[in-house]
Chains A and B, each alone.
Chain A
Amino acid sequence: MLTNRARAALITMMHTVAIPPFELFYEEHRAEVMRLLRRRLGRERADDAFQETFLRALQAYARLDHGEHLRAWVLTIARNVAIDVVRRTRSTEEVVEPAGEDGLAAYDDLAPLTDGLPPKERAAVVLRYGYDLSYDQIAHALGSSADAARQATSTGVRRIRTRRIEQ
């Protein structure tokens, strides 16, 4: 049995979803991003944070591998921007780590998919699809190059796919 997060990660791995033109992505999510930022920062500080959120999204957009989970992705960026704003203004607001639906860490959540993979591939797949890290960030975490991180991730994903098809 897979948890929802593991299932979602598997679906992402099995299908590459086209990335929509940024305009459509922006129009679809800007209202919700604004709501989140106003809730966290108030009306005054939300405007700057809004611009910052979508500029960060624009910067990362060219490096996306697929168009899955874009709503969750942009809301994560917005939360991070809000955290930065709060830090800058020296508030004492607490930063809460995101957890899976049942409180599992992504590593455990994805275990049914990644069990039995060589350690480096397993780590790369979990960081990519469980934590949504970029290949640069994965490379940093694993002490390798971004190319090697991409290679380890795709080899791991291929292994998982083959195993799922054989089952």
Chain B
Amino acid sequence: MTVSPDLDRRFREAASSLGLVDLGYDVIDSPVGPLFVGVSTKGLAALSFHQQDDSDLERLASFAGPRVLRSPRAVDQVRRELDEYFARRRRIFDLSLDLRGLAPFTISVLDALGKVPFGETTTYGALAARVGRPRAARAVGTVMNRNRIPIVLPCHRVVGSTGALVGYGGGLDRKVALLELEGVLL
């Protein structure tokens, strides 16, 4: 017995507007491919270039709560701001972030990362110095690699000390595309 798409949509909308969802998610289109977006009661909690499986949903539930539900309405604001960013109409995101479950060092690095402005780059070493751990460039690289909220927390703006792009969790093509969008690489 199938549930009609219309009924399914109405349930998901009602769940979201009644505030019964701990974390709502959806997959949205973007110029760098489909993006998985998860928004909890505290804010944007996850953004990913990769398709999420059951264990990814479990990991989100582990800090946000068990009521994880696909809910297009829950990601409306994020979708809007990302659309504006990709259309070059937005340089700063006006979103609260949910960093629950992350280690204090990770949070301090992500906090410093969030202050790297649109259209500029920094290095792993400079970011490490900014959080008072000048020798921890490699650890900073690990934090970038595991960044739960790329694009909004702009790990694409972090490059090697020689200016080489080094790497990107979403693949180097996407890092190049984002830096081109911001006018860094022309």
Contact = CB atoms under 8 A, between A and B. Distances in A.
Interface of A: 18-24, 26, 30-32, 34-35, 38, 47, 50-51, 54-55, 58-59, 61-62, 64
Contacts of A23: 57, 68-70
Contacts of A18: 58
B11 A54 contact: yes
A54 B8 CA distance: 11
Interface stretch (B14-22, B96-104, B172-180): B14-22
B165 to A, nearest CB: 35
Interface of B: 1-4, 7-8, 10-11, 14-15, 18, 20-22, 54, 57-58, 60-61, 65-70
Given A55-B18, A55-B20, A58-B21, A22 B3 contact: no
Contacts of A59: 20
Contact of A61 (B8, B10, B66, B70): B66
> Is the contact region of chain A dominated by helix, strand, or loop, or is it mixed?
helix
Contact of B15 (A30, A55, A62, A64): A55
Contacts of A26: 69
B16 to A, nearest CB: 10
A19 B61 CA distance: 9
A47 B3 CA distance: 9
Contacts of A21: 54, 57-58, 60-61, 66-69
> Is the contact region of chain B dominated by helix, strand, or loop, or is it mixed?
mixed
Contacts of A20: 58, 61, 66
Contacts of A38: 1
A19 B66 contact: yes
A149 to B, nearest CB: 22
Contacts of A31: 1-3
10 contacts: A22-B66, A23-B70, A31-B2, A50-B3, A51-B7, A51-B11, A51-B14, A55-B15, A55-B18, A62-B65
B74 to A, nearest CB: 12
A51 B67 contact: no
Nearest to B59: A21
A31 B22 CA distance: 23
Contacts of A47: 4, 7
B1 A35 contact: yes
Contact of A51 (B10, B54, B58, B66): B10
Contacts of A35: 1
Nearest to B61: A21
